[in-house]
Structure 1
Amino acid sequence: MKFAIALFSPPHSPSSRRALRFSEALLSGGHDIIRIFFYQDGVYNASANIVMSQDECDLTNEWREFIKQHRLDGVVCIAAALRRGILDEQEVQRHNRPTSTPNLSEGWSLSGLGQFHEAAQQADRLICFGGH
């Protein structure tokens, strides 16, 4: 079965951990993940600037490694990311932020809600974590 995953919660939220563990279980069970889309505060999971306490699980790193290891399509909503100060090299230049450095972690791509819609159309199931 093909799944699309959407995460709306930041890395310190239990929803983020549940989404990651669920995604791991999907792949272990032989299912496919079309795309993992990070929206609203979920975009913080793709920030290279999040530092977790030593006694906490580093979910930003775990997400990055999971996406890299399984060659998944990790997409970060560009509008939500920009509102929260998460930029890649292209956005730093486009928005003339000379003192900023790109802080979108490696392995992620910025894109619009069209990517979310496309994944939902291609998948057999859309599973959402977090949100209000």
Structure 2
Amino acid sequence: MKFAIALFSPPHAPASRRALRFAEAVLASGHEIVRLFFYRDGVYNASCAMVAPQDELDMAAQWRAFVAEHRLDGVVCIAAALRRGVLNAEEARRYEREAISTGAPWELSGLGQLHEAAQLADRLVCFGGD
């Protein structure tokens, strides 16, 4: 079965951890993840600028490692990312900002990527949000 997974919550929210554990279980069960899409505050999971307290899990680092290890399509909504200051090198240059807070393995792209993922997958599973 093919899954698309969308995450709307930041790293410190329980939904982020649940989404990661679900994604791990999907792959462990022999299924496929066609795309991970991070939207709204979920874009903070792609930020390398966040520092988790010592007594908490560093969910952003765990997501980064998971996406890189499994060579997954990790897409971050560009509009939500820009609004929240999550910039890759290209966007930092475009908007003349000095801070770069995301990079590989993440790709900044539009909301159309979520729509496409829903079309390619057998199931779209969403975590977090209001």
**TM-score with structure 1 length normalisation?**
0.97
1:130 aligned onto 2:123: no
Matched letter for residue 107 of structure 1:
P
What's the counterpart of residue 103 of structure 1? 101
What's the counterpart of residue 69 of structure 1? 69
Please give the secondary structure, in 2, of the residue aligned with 1:128. strand
The Cα offsets for residues 45-96 of structure 1, whole Å up to 9 and x where unpaired, read as 0001110011111100100000000000000000000000010111011112
What's the counterpart of residue 52 of structure 1? 52
**TM-score with structure 2 length normalisation?**
0.98
> What do you get for the CA RMSD once the two structures are aligned?
0.7
Which stretch shows the higher mean deviation, 38-47 or 86-95? Answer: 86-95
Given that 2:9 and 2:16 are in contact with CA atoms closer than 8 Å, whether structure 1 keeps it comes out as: yes
What's the counterpart of residue 92 of structure 1? 92
Please give the secondary structure, in 1, of the residue aligned with 2:34. strand
Given that 1:64 and 1:105 are in contact with CA atoms closer than 8 Å, whether structure 2 keeps it comes out as: no
The Cα offsets for residues 14-58 of structure 1, whole Å up to 9 and x where unpaired, read as 000000000000000000000000000000000011100111111
Please give the secondary structure, in 1, of the residue aligned with 2:48. coil
Paired with 1:88 and 1:44, the residues of 2 have a C-alpha distance of: 13
What's the counterpart of residue 35 of structure 1? 35
Paired with 2:61 and 2:68, the residues of 1 have a C-alpha distance of: 10
Paired with 1:77 and 1:62, the residues of 2 have a C-alpha distance of: 19
Which stretch shows the higher mean deviation, 4-13 or 100-109? Answer: 100-109
Which stretch shows the higher mean deviation, 105-114 or 22-31? Answer: 105-114
Paired with 1:34 and 1:91, the residues of 2 have a C-alpha distance of: 25
Matched letter for residue 108 of structure 1:
W
Matched letter for residue 85 of structure 1:
G
The Cα offsets for residues 96-123 of structure 1, whole Å up to 9 and x where unpaired, read as 22xx221114210100001110000000
